[in-house]
Chain A
Amino acid sequence: GQQVMQIPQYQHVQEGEDFTTYCNSSTTLSNIQWYKQRPGGHPVFLIQLVKSGEVKKQKRLTFQFGEAKKNSSLHITATQTTDVGTYFCAGLAAGGTSYGKLTFGQGTILTVHP
Chain B
Amino acid sequence: SAVISQKPSRDICQRGTSLTIQCQVDSQVTMMFWYRQQPGQSLTLIATANQGSEATYESGFVIDKFPISRPNLTFSTLTVSNMSPEDSSIYLCSVEDPHTSINEKLFFGSGTQLSVL
**Which A residues form the contact surface with B (CB < 8 A)?**
1, 31, 33, 35, 41-45, 48, 88, 90, 92, 98-102, 104-107
Main secondary structure of the interface of A (DSSP, over half): loop
Chain A CB within 8 A of B63 CB: no
Which of B41, B92, B96, B105 has a CB less than 8 Å from the CB of A42? Answer: B92
Contact A42 B42 (CB under 8 A): no
Contact B43 A100 (CB under 8 A): no
Contact A100 B109 (CB under 8 A): no
Please give the distance in Å from B68's CB to the nearest CB on chain A: 13
Which residues of the partner chain A approach B108 to less than 8 Å between Cβ atoms?
A: 42-44
Which of A1, A88, A98 has a CB less than 8 Å from the CB of B42? Answer: A88
Which of B31, B107, B109 has a CB less than 8 Å from the CB of A99? Answer: B31
Contact A31 B111 (CB under 8 A): no
Contact B41 A106 (CB under 8 A): yes
Contact A33 B105 (CB under 8 A): yes
**How long is the Cα–Cα vector from A88 to B59 in the complex, in angstroms?**
22
**How long is the Cα–Cα vector from A105 to B43 in the complex, in angstroms?**
8
Which of A31, A41, A45, A106 has a CB less than 8 Å from the CB of B103? Answer: A31
Which of B42, B97, B102, B109 has a CB less than 8 Å from the CB of A104? Answer: B42
Which residues of chain B in 41-99 are interfacial with respect to chain A, using CB atoms and an 8 Å cutoff?
A: 41-45, 48, 59, 92, 94, 96-97
Contact B42 A45 (CB under 8 A): no
